Chains A and B, each alone.
Chain A
Amino acid sequence: EVQLVESGGGLVQPGGSLRLSCAASGFTFSTYWMHWVRQAPGKGLVWVSRISSDGSSTSYADSVKGRFTISRDNAKNTLYLQMNSLRAEDTAVYYCARGVTVAVTTPLEHWGQGTLVTVSS
């Protein structure tokens, strides 16, 4: 059974940093592109970032480019999102997600339960 478990969320002041983790199990982690998607309270889904199976290729939404960094450790089956220069508008539940297939162009089939990040003074 595919499992994705996020951690690392919490309360942080504007301008601060936070690193999210997503522990994966139940599949061959090193073969899949992985994604981060966020959802502000009461709002819609917003794609944040994705990373290739070997970590060599990444892409970001314009709203987080230059502030967030996605990475992975295939030996530890873990996905990360380093978030710097956090703003109030980054407040959201952050989900990690895996596609249906190992291709880059694939919809998101498996989702974690999410971790809440709150940016506030």
Chain B
Amino acid sequence: DIQMTQSPSSLSASVGDRVTITCRASQGISNYLAWYQQKPGKVPKLLIYAASTLQSGVPSRFSGSGSGTDFTLTISSLQPEDVATYYCQKYNSAPTFGQGTKVEIK
């Protein structure tokens, strides 16, 4: 089975900082990679799919890149409302989530 590993598991950054989260697949998954945001007590929200396609309505400060085994989610300028846990997910064959990255404001 393909494993999805995110890093870091948590981070703390200042408002306005550029934040990068990494997701690595144990085998190549082409671009079948999505990113989700889950705020405390809320349902997960799809941010990005096909590794780099921004879901409708998602602020442009979010971006995704990568293909094969290595992927990144970037928040270009961190905002207070971005405090959440972020998950990557491969969605080809057996869907699998990464373990999550908790983002906090410093």
B92's contact among A37, A44, A95, A105, by CB below 8 Å, is which?
A105
A105–B32 touching, CB < 8 Å: yes
Q: Which residues of B contact A31 (CB under 8 A)?
A: none
Main secondary structure of the interface of B (DSSP, over half): loop
Max chain B C-beta neighbours (<10 A), residue from A61, A107, A111, A112: A107
B46–A108 touching, CB < 8 Å: yes
A-B residue pair count with CB separations less than 8 angstroms? 53
Interface size on A, residues (CB 8 A): 21
Q: Which residues of A contact B49 (CB under 8 A)?
A: 100, 106-107
A109–B91 touching, CB < 8 Å: no
CB-CB under 8 A for A44 and B43, given A105-B32, A106-B91: no
Of all chain A residues, which has the CB nearest B87? A45
B97–A95 touching, CB < 8 Å: no
CB-CB under 8 A for A107 and B34, given A46-B97, A100-B49: yes
Q: Which residues of B contact A61 (CB under 8 A)?
A: 94
